[in-house]
Chains A and B, each alone.
Chain A
Amino acid sequence: MAPSRLTAQVAGVNGKTALRFLLRAFGAAILVLVIWRVTTVGLAEGYPASFWISQALNGLVLGGVYALVALGYTLVYGILFMINFAHGEVMMIGGIAGFFALQFSQARGWLEGPWPVVVVALLLIMLFGMAASVLIGVTLERLAYRPLRQAPRLVPLISAIGASLFLQYSVLLIFGVSPHSYRKPALISGGMRMGDVFIPYTGAIIFVTSILLMLALYFIIQRTKLGRAMRAVAEDRATASLMGVDVNAVIVITFMLGSALAGAAGVMLGFHNTVVKFNSGFVPGLKAFTAAVLGGIGNIPGAMFGALILGLIEAIGPSALGIPTEYKDVIAFTLLVLILIFRPSGLFGEVLSEKKA
C-alpha cells in the first residue's frame, strides 16, 4: 500500500518529530557557524603548519590524561549506573599525594641521580599517587555510595556532589589554598625538536604512559577472570551474583581500578600543568565526564577515543575559531551539550543504554 506508507511519513513530520526537527535545525545552525568561523577567522590567521601540529600534540597529551579519568567514570557508570561526581577529586588527591612524594624524592636527591634511579623514583611517585587515590576511592564507595545502592538515583548523585565538595574543602583545610608546584626533574624537563615542532619530554611520557595504562585496563577487562566478572555485573547484577560472582568485591575493584587510573592521571596532570591545588580536579573531572559521554558512557574504547577527541578539540578549537583560549572550557561544555542533544548514546554508542531507563 504505497499511498498509506507515504501518509505515515508525511504526517510524522508535523507531529511528534517537530521538536527533533527544531533541534536538528539548531544543530545545523551551530555547525554552519563553526565552519564559517573556522574558514574565515581561524585559517585566515595564517598560522604555520607547525603551530597546528604542536597544538594537536598538546591536545593528544591532554586527551590521554582525560582518557584515564574518563575510564573511571565509564567503569563506575557501567556497573552502578551512577555518575561518580567526586571522581575528579579522587584524581586531584592523587596529584596532591604525588606532589608530596615528589618533594620527598627531591629532598632525598633521587631525582638528580643517574637515569635509572630517576625513572624508578618517578614510577614510585606515580604509584604513591595511585595508592592515595585508590584509598580515597574505596573509602568513598564504602561511606557515601554503598549505603545508597538501592536508593532512588537522585540520592547517590547528591551524595556524590556532597562527597566532591567534602574532598575539595578538606584538602583546602589541610594543605591550604595556595597551589603546590611540581618541579620537574632535569631529566624530563627538556624536549625534542622535530623540524619546527617542539615536543616536551613530559608530554611524550604522559601520552605513552596513558596509552600503556589504558591497554593494561583493556587487557584486564577483556582477558581476565576478574574482567569477566566485571562485565557480568555490569550486564545484570542479580544474575551475576546468582552465578557466584561477589558483586560487592567487583564493585570495590571497579572503584579501585578507576581510582588508580585517576591517581596516575592526577600525577601526570601535575607534571603537565606544573601545579595542583584543592580545586584542580573539578574542571578536568567535568571534562573527563564529557569525554566519557562523547564516546558513549559505559563503553571503554569509546571513553579513550572520546577523550582524545575532546583533548584535540580543546587544544585546536580556540585558535581555529579565532576566540580567546579562556573559552576552551566553553567549547568543551558546548560540545557536551550538543552531543547529549543529538547523540545521547555517544559517538561510539552506549554499551548499556537500555538499562539506565
Chain B
Amino acid sequence: MTALLSIQAVTKVFGGLTAVDNVNLDIEERSITSLIGPNGAGKTTLFNCLTGLHTPEAGQILFDGRSLIGLRPDEIIARGVARTYQNIRLFGRMTALENVLVGQHLQLRASHWSAVLRSARQQAEERAARSFALELLAFVGLESHAEVVSTNLPYGEQRLLEVARALGSRPSLLLLDEPAAGMNPSETDRMMELVHRLRDEKGVTVFLIEHDMKVVMSVSESVAVLDYGEKIAEGTPEEVRANARVVEAYLGPEVVLQDTVATSDI
C-alpha cells in the first residue's frame, strides 16, 4: 500500500530560523497519525506547508502521487487536503450551516448566471449542498445549531464546526491542528470519538497535531515527533513512548506542557 501523503525532506526557513528541518514522513491511507512535539517545534509550520500557506524552501510533498508544492491553498483543498486551525478560525458572522456551505464551495459547479436565473440544476445543487451540510452538522453533533451564528457557539462546538466545515470539501486527508486544545474532558472524549468516526465512517485519513497525550495515545495508530524542526522519532504510540530521545525532549515535562499548552497560542 503506497502512502497517501508523502513528505520528503521538507525544509522551511524563516529568516535565520529553520522551523522545519529536512522532515520525511509518510502517511498511509485511512490511518490516524499524530504529530507531536514541544511548543515551537514546527508542527503548525509543517501543516502550513502542506496547505499552501507557506512554500517550503526545499523538499517535496506528494499527495496521491502528485506534488502539492507551489499550489495555492484553494488548489490544495481541491486535491482533497482540508484542515482546521489551532486558534479557531470560523467565519464568525455566518451561521453554522453557512460555514459548512462555504466548505463545499469547490463541490458546487453551477455557474453564477444560473444562480441569477435560479435554474433547476442550480437549485437542485443548492438543495443537495444544504442537505449534505446538515448531514455533516449531524455527523459532528451540531444538527440543532445549524442556524446559530458561529461566534455564538460554545468553544468546543466551534471546534466541531471547524471539522464539519473541513469535511464539506469531501477531503481524503484531514489535518487537525490541536483539535482538543482548551476542551474539557467530556468534550475531549467527544472529539476523540469523532476522530475515530472520521476514519471509520467517512473513510478520511486523519493527520493531527495534539498536545494532550491521552488523546494522542488512544487515538493514533502512528506518532511522529518533531523537535526544533527535526523529526526525532516515528512509530506506534508505544514505540514513541519508549523512545529515549522523545522522553528527553518531550515526555519528561509532559505534565507541565499539558497545562501550558491549553492556553497558549502560536
Q: Which residues on A are within 8 Å of B, measured CB to CB?
A: 1, 4-5, 7-8, 11-17
Smallest CB gap from A14: residue in B: B70
Q: How far is the CA of A14 from the CA of B75 in the complex (A)?
A: 12
Q: How far is the CA of A281 from the CA of B16 in the complex (A)?
A: 45
Partner of B55, one of A1, A4, A8, A14: A8
Main secondary structure of the interface of A (DSSP, over half): helix
Smallest CB gap from B72: residue in A: A16
Residues of A within 8 A of B75 (CB): 15
Contact B70 A1 (CB under 8 A): no
If A11-B67, A14-B70, A16-B71 touch, whether A4 touches B58 (CB-CB below 8 Å) is yes
Contact B59 A15 (CB under 8 A): no
- Whether a CB of chain A sits under 8 angstroms from the CB of B8 is yes
Residues of B within 8 A of A14 (CB): 70
State the Cβ distance, B231 to closest chain A Cβ, in Å: 15
Contact A11 B59 (CB under 8 A): no
Residues of A within 8 A of B67 (CB): 7, 11
If A16-B52, A16-B55 touch, whether A4 touches B71 (CB-CB below 8 Å) is no
If A4-B58, A4-B59, A16-B55 touch, whether A11 touches B69 (CB-CB below 8 Å) is yes
- Whether a CB of chain A sits under 8 angstroms from the CB of B56 is yes
Residues of A within 8 A of B58 (CB): 1, 4-5, 8
Contact B69 A8 (CB under 8 A): yes
- Whether a CB of chain A sits under 8 angstroms from the CB of B57 is yes
Q: How far is the CA of A310 from the CA of B52 in the complex (A)?
A: 38
Q: How far is the CA of A1 from the CA of B56 in the complex (A)?
A: 13
Q: How far is the CA of A14 from the CA of B52 in the complex (A)?
A: 14
Interface size class of B (residues with CB under 8 A): 10 to 19
Q: How far is the CA of A278 from the CA of B58 in the complex (A)?
A: 58
- Whether a CB of chain A sits under 8 angstroms from the CB of B18 is no
State the Cβ distance, A16 to closest chain B Cβ, in Å: 5
Contact A15 B60 (CB under 8 A): no
State the Cβ distance, B222 to closest chain A Cβ, in Å: 23
Contact B70 A12 (CB under 8 A): yes
Ordered nearest first, which 7 A-B pairs have the shortest CB separation?
A11-B70, A15-B70, A5-B58, A12-B70, A4-B60, A1-B9, A11-B69
Partner of B57, one of A7, A8, A13, A15: A8
Q: How far is the CA of A189 from the CA of B239 in the complex (A)?
A: 88
Q: How far is the CA of A12 from the CA of B54 in the complex (A)?
A: 11
If A15-B75, A16-B52 touch, whether A1 touches B69 (CB-CB below 8 Å) is no
State the Cβ distance, A13 to closest chain B Cβ, in Å: 7
Residues of A within 8 A of B56 (CB): 8
State the Cβ distance, B17 to closest chain A Cβ, in Å: 15
Residues of B within 8 A of A11 (CB): 67, 69-71
Residues of B within 8 A of A1 (CB): 8-9, 58-59
Contact B70 A4 (CB under 8 A): no
> How would residues 35 to 75 of chain B score, 1 for a CB under 8 Å from any chain A CB and 0 otherwise?
00000000000000000100111111000000101111001
Residues of A within 8 A of B69 (CB): 7-8, 11-12
If A14-B70, A15-B70 touch, whether A7 touches B60 (CB-CB below 8 Å) is yes
Interface centre among A8, A11, A16 (most CB of B within 10 A): A8
Q: How far is the CA of A332 from the CA of B9 in the complex (A)?
A: 47
Q: How far is the CA of A17 from the CA of B75 in the complex (A)?
A: 13
State the Cβ distance, B37 to closest chain A Cβ, in Å: 22
Smallest CB gap from B76: residue in A: A15
Residues of A within 8 A of B9 (CB): 1, 4
Smallest CB gap from B61: residue in A: A8
Contact A16 B70 (CB under 8 A): yes
Q: How far is the CA of A312 from the CA of B95 in the complex (A)?
A: 53
Smallest CB gap from A13: residue in B: B70
Residues of A within 8 A of B71 (CB): 11, 15-16
Q: How far is the CA of A7 from the CA of B62 in the complex (A)?
A: 12
Residues of B within 8 A of A4 (CB): 8-9, 58-60
Residues of B within 8 A of A8 (CB): 55-60, 69-70
Name 6 A/B residue pairs within 8 A (Cβ), A-sorted.
A1-B8, A5-B59, A8-B56, A8-B69, A12-B70, A15-B72
Residues of A within 8 A of B60 (CB): 4, 7-8
Q: How far is the CA of A17 from the CA of B67 in the complex (A)?
A: 16
Q: How far is the CA of A8 from the CA of B59 in the complex (A)?
A: 7
Q: How far is the CA of A16 from the CA of B75 in the complex (A)?
A: 10
Smallest CB gap from B59: residue in A: A4
Smallest CB gap from B56: residue in A: A8
Q: How far is the CA of A15 from the CA of B66 in the complex (A)?
A: 14
5 further contact pairs, Cβ within 8 A, besides A1-B8, A7-B69: A4-B9, A4-B58, A12-B69, A12-B70, A16-B72
